[in-house]
């Protein structure tokens, strides 16, 4: 039953009073999904670096190493849009648990296949492609499920917690994964991560599924109709389309600038790879602090759009000027961008996922995943080409200017369609009351 002293009576269309909700974020469901996310992140980071190190050590080829990474990205180009209607139709919990069980089986099988100590490049290519395929569907289901596990009115805090998980895991697991690679065999690492994934499944099983399963069989005709419905929704929702298009451009350009930054650090006598590592650490620390601030201080709804515009313009300007700064200012640059960037990401996710109809989340998020993958690949290639024909700093400025122009054209200028998205507030709907049980 609902705690009468902590909140008002829940009725359809009414939002629970904000000041009485604060202690209800960490209910059983949210605690379980947070723990499961941490376990999954640890498992992923525990394997990514060792596999990358192993492939390069065995092949001594940057091209072959890059191909392994590309295999992991290929499913993101088309699969999200094709899989999203299936995910939107039914409960998300079955997808999450089923895919985690499949991942656990894959990790355990890989452990047996490499137990003899032999290295098979093709095996790791296939493994990365399969993991990438599973991850696409898993991510869509997770993105559609996660908002329903956050109590109404606490979206910013919930997404702030989510935003802090991966920076923290990366800070801790980067040296830990390198240590494990040097002291533990790959077969034992696969078995360890497989066991960790099974623990994650046990945690996820405790979460309640509040979305009913479809009562009728799902035909190819219905699938086609759902696919068309998703594209029709994007066609009429200019704000969502603008935001996701801009994010694909700015994320892709930022990753391209990272490629140029790495090359710049490796070719300048006054810089080193170690200094580049500190630069990345500063950004992660900024993300952690920014996420913590988002958790303890809630940005007023009416200020979300103005805050986001400021952060996008600031971040893109800092990306443009990064390689022209002295090293201490580079570190400060990345620290500020990390903190502000995670702040805008938290605001955007809480607003966009509140704005989207629950039954459309997977399909719209699939569009973002697809554009993100295409933008990332395109700007990686563009950065590589520009780095061959002009100085690295000039190439970085060009990419930064592209993001600044896109921020103005897609975020600042069309305020009429963008503002309603950033000011969206999720209302209590049927089934949400279960989240507030003490």
Which CATH number does the domain housing residue 139 bear? 1.20.1250.20
Q: 70 and 165 share a domain?
A: yes
90 neighbors 361 (Cβ within 8 angstroms): no
> At residue 60, does pLDDT exceed 80?
no
In a domain, 8, yes or no: no
**Rounded to whole angstroms, how far apart are CA atoms 56 and 53?**
5
198 plus 306 within the same structural domain: no
Burial 76-110 (b: 16+ CB within 10 A, else e): beebbbebbbbbbebbbbebbbebbebbbebbbeb
Asked if residue 285 belongs to a domain, the reply is yes
Tokens, residue 336: 């500020």
Q: Is residue 437 part of a domain?
A: no
Per-residue confidence band for 211, with pLDDT thresholds at 50, 70 and 90: low
Q: For residue 49, is pLDDT > 80? A: no
pLDDT value at 267 more than 90: no
Q: Are 91 and 209 in contact (CB under 8 A)?
A: yes
Q: Is 39 inside a domain boundary?
A: yes
152-162 mean pLDDT: 86
The pLDDT of residue 308: 96
Whether the pLDDT of residue 65 is over 80: the answer is: no
Around Cβ 368, how many Cβ atoms within 10 Å?
Answer: 19
**Is residue 2 predicted with pLDDT exceeding 60?**
no
Does residue 219 fall inside a structural domain?
A: no
Q: Is residue 274 part of a domain?
A: yes
CA distance 159 to 157: 6
CA-closest candidate to residue 191, choices 76, 107, 257, 122: 107
Predicted local confidence at residue 38, as pLDDT: 93
Asked whether residue 10 is assigned to any structural domain, the reply reads no
- Co-location of 204 and 265 in the same domain: no
Does some domain include residue 430?
no
Q: What percent of the chain has pLDDT over 70?
A: 88
| DSSP helix/strand/coil, 195 | helix
What is the rounded CA–CA span in Å between residue 181 and residue 29? Answer: 34
* 438 secondary structure, DSSP code: -
- 253 and 184 part of one domain: no
293 and 190 in a common domain: no
**Is residue 243 domain-shared with residue 380, that is, in the same domain?**
yes
Q: What is the mean pLDDT of the chain?
A: 83
**pLDDT at position 253:** 92
Same domain membership, residue 179 and residue 69:
yes
On whether both 199 and 303 belong to a single domain, the answer is: no
In whole angstroms, give the CA distance from residue 74 to residue 69. Answer: 9
Residue % of the chain over a pLDDT of 90: 39
Give the least confident one: 240-244, 294-298, 367-371.
367-371
The CA-CA-CA angle for residues 260, 247, 103, to 5°, reads 85
Same domain for 265 and 204, yes or no, is no
Residue 15 clears pLDDT 50, i.e. is over it: no
Tell me the mean pLDDT in the region 106-111: 95
Let me know whether 144 and 281 are in one domain.
no
Of 187, 160, 165, 219, residue with least CA distance to 350: 160
Per-residue pLDDT band for 19 (boundaries 50, 70, 90) equals very low
Q: Which domain holds residue 184?
A: 23-151+161-208
**Structural domains in the chain (count):** 2
- Kindly report the pTM of this predicted structure: 0.72
**Poorest-confidence range of 100-109, 196-205, 345-354?**
345-354
pLDDT in tens, 319-337: 999 999 999 999 999 999 9
Instruction: Report pLDDT for 256.
Output: 86
Phi-psi region of 216 (alpha: psi -120 to 50; beta: other; left: phi over 0): beta
Q: How many CB atoms lie within 10 A of CB 215?
A: 5
Question: Do 317 and 410 fall within a single domain?
Answer: yes
- Opening angle at CA 188, ends 182 and 191, nearest 5: 140
3-state SS, residue 408: helix
Minimum mean pLDDT among 66-80, 328-342, 355-369, 383-397: which range? 66-80
Mark whether 188 and 95 lie in a shared domain.
yes
Strand boundaries in 36-132, DSSP class E: none
pLDDT recorded at residue 5: 36
Question: What mean pLDDT comes out for the span 47-56?
Answer: 80
Q: Please tell me the predicted confidence (pLDDT) of residue 303.
A: 94
């Amino acid at each position: 039953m609902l705690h009468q002293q902590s909140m008002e009576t829940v009725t359809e269309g009414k939002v629970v009073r904000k000041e009485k909700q604060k202690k209800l974020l960490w209910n059983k469901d949210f605690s379980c999904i947070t723990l499961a996310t941490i376990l999954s992140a640890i498992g992923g980071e525990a394997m990514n670096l060792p596999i990358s190190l192993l492939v390069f050590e065995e092949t001594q080829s940057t091209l072959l190493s890059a191909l392994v990474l590309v295999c992991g990205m290929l499913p993101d180009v088309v699969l999200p849009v094709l899989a999203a209607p299936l995910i939107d139709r039914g409960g998300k919990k079955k997808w999450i648990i089923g895919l985690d069980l499949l991942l656990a089986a894959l990790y355990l099988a890989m452990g047996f296949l490499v137990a003899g100590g032999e290295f098979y490049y093709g095996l790791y290519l296939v493994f990365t492609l399969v993991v990438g395929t599973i991850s696409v569907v898993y991510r869509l289901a997770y993105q559609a499920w996660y908002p329903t596990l956050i109590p109404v009115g606490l979206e910013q805090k919930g997404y702030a917690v989510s935003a802090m998980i991966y920076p923290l895991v990366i800070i801790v697991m980067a040296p830990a994964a390198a240590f494990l690679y040097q002291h533990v065999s790959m077969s034992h690492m696969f078995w360890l991560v497989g066991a960790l994934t099974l623990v994650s499944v046990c945690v996820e099983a405790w979460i309640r599924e509040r979305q009913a399963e479809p009562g009728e069989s799902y035909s190819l005709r219905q699938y086609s109709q759902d696919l068309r419905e998703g594209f029709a929704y994007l066609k009429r929702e200019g704000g969502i389309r603008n935001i996701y298009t801009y994010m694909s451009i700015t994320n892709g350009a930022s990753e391209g600038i990272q490629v140029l930054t790495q090359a710049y650090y490796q070719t300048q006598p006054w810089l080193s790879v170690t200094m580049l590592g500190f630069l990345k650490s500063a950004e992660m620390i900024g993300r952690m602090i920014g996420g913590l601030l988002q958790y303890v201080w809630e940005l007023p709804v009416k200020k979300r759009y103005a805050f986001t515009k400021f952060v996008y313009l600031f971040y893109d300007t800092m990306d443009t000027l990064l390689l022209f700064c002295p090293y201490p200012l580079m570190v400060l640059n990345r620290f500020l961008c990390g903190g502000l960037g995670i702040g805008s990401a938290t605001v955007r996710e809480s607003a966009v996922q509140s704005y989207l109809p629950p039954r459309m989340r997977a399909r719209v998020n699939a569009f973002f995943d697809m554009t993100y993958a295409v933008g990332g690949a395109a700007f990686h290639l563009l950065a590589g080409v520009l780095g061959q024909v002009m100085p690295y700093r000039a190439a970085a400025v060009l990419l930064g200017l592209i993001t600044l122009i896109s921020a103005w054209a897609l975020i600042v200028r069309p305020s009429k369609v963008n503002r309603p998205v950033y000011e969206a507030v999720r209302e209590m709907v049927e089934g949400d009351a279960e989240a507030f049980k003490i």
